[in-house]
Amino acid sequence: MAIIYSYPAGTPSAADNLLGTQVDPITEENKTVQFGIGAINSLATQGYLETTVTLTNAQWIALPGTDVQLVATPGADKLIKVLALSMFFDYATANFTFPNALSIGTTGDPITNIQGTLAADNVGTGADRVFSIAPIGVQILPNQGLVIGTVAGATGGGGSVQVKIRYQVLDVTAF
């Protein structure tokens, strides 16, 4: 077998295979087998969900009085744990201006159990922008949906916003 660095570098795709070792469940011996990169990816992200919600310009302007649901309530004894948040501001005309931060958390007035925020000064961008929002450590409440909102409204702006959320639904009865 050649030295590993003597092989050419490649760019993997989901259809490619990797060599690995698999334990035979009957004989408990190690077998050399091929694993599909797509299958490895599925295994690594098992239990993760992802959704993208688009807020129209009208929803965006109405945020202080009308939170927008991003993820529905998961049911009794289940909780939504945010893993990653991203927002894409699709600029159309005038800048959006918000006097307060945008919050992503559970329904309330104001929003409670905030799992991520975007500072107000990041909103009025005047161009297409993408923001990565770090999830905030907070107690997660059972059977609560996830919404986006703010305590004071936009004074103007044109365009739409897409919110991408990667999350897990945790079940406290099978934790």
Burial 116-129 (b: 16+ CB within 10 A, else e): bbbebebbbeeeee
**Claim to verify: residue 36 and residue 60 sit in the same structural domain:** no
CA–CA dist 116, 168 (Å, integer): 15
pTM of the model: 0.72
**Claim to verify: residue 31 and residue 58 sit in the same structural domain:** no
CA–CA dist 148, 116 (Å, integer): 9
Overall average pLDDT of the 31-41 stretch = 87
pLDDT class of 106 with cuts at 50, 70, 90: confident
CA–CA dist 134, 49 (Å, integer): 17
**Claim to verify: residue 36 and residue 53 sit in the same structural domain:** no
Write the single-letter amino acid at 10.
G
Q: Which residue has the higher pLDDT, 42 or 109?
A: 42
For residue 108, pLDDT beyond 70: no
For residue 169, pLDDT beyond 90: yes
**Claim to verify: residue 20 and residue 78 sit in the same structural domain:** no
Torsion of CA 72, 134, 109, 120, to 10 degrees: -130
For residue 41, pLDDT beyond 90: no
**Claim to verify: residue 19 and residue 54 sit in the same structural domain:** no
pLDDT of residue 155: 60
Overall average pLDDT of the 126-136 stretch = 84
- Lowest average pLDDT, out of 37-41, 140-144, 156-160, 169-173, goes to 156-160
**Claim to verify: residue 55 and residue 75 sit in the same structural domain:** yes
Overall average pLDDT of the 125-145 stretch = 83
Query: How many domains is the chain built from?
Result: 2
For residue 123, pLDDT beyond 70: no
**Claim to verify: residue 90 and residue 103 sit in the same structural domain:** yes
**Claim to verify: residue 40 and residue 109 sit in the same structural domain:** no
**Average pLDDT of the residues of the chain:** 83
For residue 52, pLDDT beyond 90: yes
**Claim to verify: residue 143 and residue 67 sit in the same structural domain:** yes
pLDDT of residue 70: 93
For residue 170, pLDDT beyond 80: yes
**Claim to verify: residue 116 and residue 141 sit in the same structural domain:** yes
For residue 69, pLDDT beyond 80: yes
Query: Which range of residues forms the domain containing residue 25?
Result: 4-44
pLDDT of residue 45: 73
- Please, are residues 146 and 165 in contact by the beta-carbon 8 Å criterion? yes
**Claim to verify: residue 27 and residue 76 sit in the same structural domain:** no
Q: What is the CATH number of the domain that holds 146?
A: 2.60.120
**Claim to verify: residue 27 and residue 84 sit in the same structural domain:** no
